[in-house]
Amino acid sequence: MEVKARAPGKIILSGEHAVVHGSTAVAASIGLCTYVSLQVPPSNENDDRLTLQLKDMALEFSWPIGRIKEALSSLGGPFPSTPTSCSAESFKLILALIEEQNILEEKISLASGVSAFLWLYTSILGIKPATVVVTSDLPLGSGLGSSAALCVAFSAALLACSDTVNIDMKQEGWLVFGESELELLNKWAFEGEKIIHGKPSGIDNTVSTYGNMIKFRSGNLTRIKSSMPLKMLITNTKVGRNTKALVAGVSERTLRNPDAMSSVFNAVDSISKELANVIQTPASDDLSITAKEEKLEELMEMNHGLLQCMGVSHASIETVLRTTLKYKLASKLTGAGGGGCVLTLLPTLLSGTIVDKVIAELESCGFQCLIAGIGGNGAEICFSASS
């Protein structure tokens, strides 16, 4: 039996940076996913290795089961129904296994993701042989939640193979988890994210698990659902950024200009709340959908202007905005800024010819362009007979 899982990435529609200072923010899932395939060999087969293949990077990690038992048997488990944090001692044991794989120096940043995999695998399924294959639509390190999608997809596939969740394996096609199972999945994915990021907010894995959209403020998350189809052009500037430095820069600007920045954060809060209202309000016909799209365009443009006030834009981002503005399209940065990705709303009635022209012009600047639906399903799984 082969279990496949997929989990979407995420974008911040409104409120990045300001959310750190008490404003509301809105995040949404995107129709770009990470996929995990898990095959556990029959007990009568003489396969005694755990193998992880990262197809997009042409990388493979493989450990004899005996070696994993030798290194990690002290961790106990499996305990699939009890999401558990990886202690510092456990992390050291896992890291020792990874170091044996002789990862190339330029790929060493992958070690945390592989560590998350080993912790989730042994905690949920125990120490047993399997082949796990990962592919993804999501560019790494671009602010689209690739690590959270990876942890959610890992956790979904592993839980589907455990006795913890109640799923009919005979059903065909992609299946969704029940509400209580999604909660368990989200908690495990969060434990994986903690291994990768240290102190994640939990927003990325929550969006990837449940899909649709969430509104969040001061640690409180509210799931919301869009009443209208939304499509975005996501432009990856391929410019790396230091998220911690950008966050610190906004805080320093706030200390220097407390009254002005307070007004900026209040304005962002109003924009996020209005955006959530527009998205949730039913649209009865094409005319009302167009009116709502125009309102969203205004809110996106205002939000980006306020992000410029915070000092988190970048020349590459502004190049994208100038390009899309020529075609009367609204754009804003998403995530930390300083590079990363830019969102451009693609209205329902926009011609494909214009989209093609925009993409051609952006790609000529060296940017990567992706088109995705917004606010779709969260984690899903399917079962098939092993080939």
pLDDT digits (tens, 9 = 90+) for 275-308: 999 999 988 777 789 999 999 999 999 999 999 9
In the chain, what is the straight-line distance between the N-terminal and C-terminal CA atoms, in Å? 9
pLDDT at position 279 is: 94
Helix (H) or strand (E) holding 384: strand 380-384
* d(C-alpha 330, C-alpha 364), whole Å: 20
DSSP state string for 76-113: ----TTS-----HHHHHHHHHHHHTT---GGGGGGHHH
The two three-digit tokens of residue 143, written as one number: 């602010």
CA angle 163/166/171 to nearest 5° reads 115
3-state SS class at 234: strand
pLDDT at position 105 is: 60
Give me the residue label for tokens 């190339």: 104
Task: Give the closest residue to 117 by CA, choosing from 34, 227, 213.
Answer: 34
pLDDT tens by residue, 134-167:
999 999 888 899 999 999 999 999 999 988 887 7
Q: For 197, what's the count of Cα atoms within 13 Å in the CB-facing half-sphere?
A: 23
For residue 42, the 8-state DSSP code is P
The residues spanned by each domain of the chain are 2-223+375-384, 229-370
What's the gap between Cα 64 and its chain centre?
Answer: 31
* d(C-alpha 22, C-alpha 266), whole Å: 9
How far is CA 243 from each of CA 16, 104, 145, 203, 294, rounded to the nearest angstrom?
11, 25, 13, 16, 31
Mean pLDDT in runs of 10 for the chain (387 residues)? 94 94 96 95 78 93 94 88 94 92 70 94 94 95 92 96 79 87 96 91 93 92 90 96 90 97 98 96 82 96 97 97 98 94 96 96 97 95 75
The torsion angle over the Cα atoms of residues 354, 358, 361 and 364, rounded to 10 degrees, is -120
The two three-digit tokens of residue 217, written as one number: 């403020």
Establish whether the linkage from the previous residue to 129 is cis, with ω within 30° of 0. Answer: no
The dihedral built from the CA positions of residue 21, 292, 226 and 347, taken in this order, carries a sign that is negative
* d(C-alpha 382, C-alpha 142), whole Å: 28
**Catalytic positions, written as ranges:** 204
The two three-digit tokens of residue 110, written as one number: 């992958």
CATH of domain 2-223+375-384: 3.30.230.10
- Ranges of H-type helices in the chain: 65-72, 88-99, 111-124, 146-161, 179-197, 203-210, 243-256, 258-280, 286-310, 315-326, 352-363
What's the gap between Cα 265 and its chain centre?
Answer: 25
Beta pairing, strands 130-136 & 49-54: parallel
For the domain made up of 229-370, the CATH class stated in words is: alpha beta
The two three-digit tokens of residue 278, written as one number: 């527009």
Query: What are residue 228's phi and psi, to 5 degrees?
Result: -140, 150
Other beta carbons within 10 Å of 57: 12
Buried b (16+ CB within 10 A) or exposed e, 264-294: bbebbbebbbbbbebbeeebeeeeebeebbe
Q: Are 102 and 96 in contact (CB under 8 A)?
A: no
pLDDT at position 156 is: 96
